[in-house]
A and B are shown apart, each in its own frame.
Chain A
């Protein structure tokens, strides 16, 4: 019997004040699109010597793709607007803490904690049908924590 769960209810929260106390997150309002967790991958280098008759590879450091999401855009919402929200992030290029939680996720359970900057934001106003929306791309940077386990801690 499957243990599959619906993806609905996943949430992204961000630190509204990156200069303030860390770990205080506010959920981004009206997340309306599929949330694409960042892809994790490692680059590859072939190290096959002439003496071998089958290939050998070494994988490099952990790399992440972008975090993709979308919202029903509310122009004066504090998590969306140009003063404190997403549009302010693209202006200031500041780094903020982000928290990704799966449906029903809680502290250190189905939860990613990471840092990133807003790399792209695109707003759409449909001409006839549909709500005003924004799609966002967040570029993560530096160490992150998945369910309390550190990923990418600095090499001593």
Chain B
């Protein structure tokens, strides 16, 4: 996936405490790439490469992911719809890519640190090929 640009749409924000009394933080991303297919695994790999988590252990993707009930932090990547693609007359597409990143952890400070680290690892990626 060649990412033209990927930008955080806001600073991370705390939005709830879950049923296991874990703090939950979130941040949304929006960008453009040469494809929008396979986005979640690519993002998970990027986080893993930046030592922010491990897919399947602390990084999960999708709306039906089974997030463990432990202390965390656990990261969930949920692909969202984005906006309409950009297209040239020649039918070259800049696909819209977007996802929501949420982190939950029993330790509130660790939760905030983790989501900030994830935001820093993803925000401002430009003209870069990412793989899953």
A-to-B contact residues, CB < 8 Å: 8-11, 27, 29-32, 35, 71-72, 128-131
Alpha-carbon distance between A8 and B32 when the two chains are bound, in angstroms: 20
Does B94 belong to the interface (CB within 8 Å)?
yes
Alpha-carbon distance between A27 and B90 when the two chains are bound, in angstroms: 9
Alpha-carbon distance between A10 and B91 when the two chains are bound, in angstroms: 10
B-to-A contact residues, CB < 8 Å: 4-5, 7, 32, 86-92, 94
Alpha-carbon distance between A8 and B4 when the two chains are bound, in angstroms: 23
Which residues from chain B contact A9 at a C-beta distance below 8 Å? 89, 91
Alpha-carbon distance between A72 and B86 when the two chains are bound, in angstroms: 11
A11 touches B89 (CB 8 A): yes
Alpha-carbon distance between A27 and B89 when the two chains are bound, in angstroms: 11
Residue of A nearest to B31 (CB): A129
Residue of A nearest to B4 (CB): A131
Alpha-carbon distance between A29 and B4 when the two chains are bound, in angstroms: 17
Cβ of A73 to closest chain B Cβ, rounded Å:
12
Which residues from chain B contact A11 at a C-beta distance below 8 Å? 89-90
A10 touches B5 (CB 8 A): no
Cβ of A6 to closest chain B Cβ, rounded Å:
11
Alpha-carbon distance between A146 and B77 when the two chains are bound, in angstroms: 54
Which residues from chain B contact A131 at a C-beta distance below 8 Å? 4, 32, 86, 94
Cβ of A9 to closest chain B Cβ, rounded Å:
6
Cβ of A30 to closest chain B Cβ, rounded Å:
5
A35 touches B89 (CB 8 A): yes
A8 touches B90 (CB 8 A): no
Cβ of B117 to closest chain A Cβ, rounded Å:
22
B7 touches A31 (CB 8 A): no
Which residues from chain B contact A71 at a C-beta distance below 8 Å? 88
Residue of B nearest to A69 (CB): B89
